[in-house]
Amino acid sequence: MQQVIEVPNTLYLCPVCREPLQLNQSGKNYACQNRHSFDLAKEGYLNLLPVQDKHSKEPGDSKEMMMARRLFLEAGFYEPIAKAVAMMIDANNTKGEGMQFLDLGCGEGYYSRKIACHYKHSEKIALHGIDIAKFAVAAAAKKQPEAQFVVASSNRLPYIDQCFDFILRVFAPSADDELKRVLKASGYLLIVTPGPRHLWQLKKSIYTEVKEHSSESLVLQGFDQLVTQRISYKITPNAQQRMALLQMTPFAWRANASVQQALSAISELEIETDFILTLFAKTVDIETT
C-alpha cells in the first residue's frame, strides 16, 4: 500500500497577494486571509493563474499539442530519459527519505508518472506538477490523482519558500531566483536540455542549414553544478509518431504544409535523440561578519 506523504496546508501561495492559501473544511477550496478564493477542479488540480497573468486566452500548449505529446511519449521513445531521471533521484537520496518533488513544466504528467513507476522509494515521495497549460494539467491530474497539480506560471511559482526537496525541469523555462526560493537548502535541481545532436534528422528535413545545440555548460544563478550526464540513442517512430514529435518541438512553426507532407511520406526515418542531464545544488550562502 502506498504511503501518503503529508502535504503542508500552507504549501500554496495566493497568486494575487502572495499570502499562504489554506484548504477549507470541505476540501474543495483554497483561500487566503484576504479572501481570494480558488476552487479545486473536478479533476483535482488547482488553477492559480490569474487572468491578469495570462498573455492569451489559453496559454501554453493547446489541446491538440497536448494530444500529440501524449501520443509520442506513451509510445515509450523517451523512456530511457525517465529511467535516468529516476536513477539520479535514487543516487541523491540514498537514505530513501520522504521528499516533496516538483515537476516543473509538467505538461500532461508523463515524467511524474514515470518517476512514480521507476523511483525506488516512490511510496515516500509527494509528487507535485506545475504547468501553464490548463488542458495538460487537467489530463495529468486525471491520470495521477495522488499527485498535486497546479496551473500557474513557472516564472512566479505559487509555493511557499523552501518547500521542495527536488525539482525536475525537462525542456521548460523558469526563473532562477524562483527555483532557488522554493528549493530547500539541502535540495536538488535536475535540468534536462537538448544535447548537440538532438532530433538531428528531423531538423534536417526542415532547415536548409542545421546547427548543433550549444554544448556549453548550463549556468544558473544561485546554484552549483554537481553532475552532468549525456544520453544519446536512436529512435524510429512511424509517420504518425513523427508528426506528433514535430508538434512537440519549437521548430514545428518552420515546417510548412509541403515539409510536413514530405516528412510524413518517408517510409522509415531513424532519428537521433540527445539529452543532457545536469544536477545542481543550491549555493550555500556564507554569511560574512
Every domain range in the chain assigned CATH 3.40.50.150: 53-282
- The pTM of the full predicted model, rounded to 2 decimals, is 0.90
Q: Give pLDDT tens digits along the chain (289 positions).
A: 344 344 445 799 999 999 999 998 888 899 999 999 999 999 999 999 976 565 555 666 777 888 899 999 999 999 999 999 999 998 887 666 788 999 999 999 999 999 998 887 778 889 999 999 999 999 999 999 999 999 999 989 999 999 999 999 999 988 999 999 999 998 999 999 999 999 999 999 888 888 888 777 788 888 999 999 999 999 999 999 999 999 888 777 778 888 888 888 998 999 999 999 999 999 876 553 3
Residues 6+ apart with CB under 8 A from 230: 195, 274, 275, 276, 277
List all residues 6 or more positions away from 65 whose beta carbon is below 8 Å from its beta carbon: 247, 248
The residues pairing with 129 across neighbouring beta strands, listed in sequence order, are: 103, 149
Residue 287: C-alpha distances to residues 29, 71, 88, 284 (Å) = 41, 50, 31, 9
Ramachandran angles phi, psi of 188, nearest 5°? -125, 150
* CATH architecture, domain 53-282: 3-Layer(aba) Sandwich (3.40)
**Which of 18, 128, 138 is CA-nearest to residue 67?**
138
Cell 500529440, residue? 68
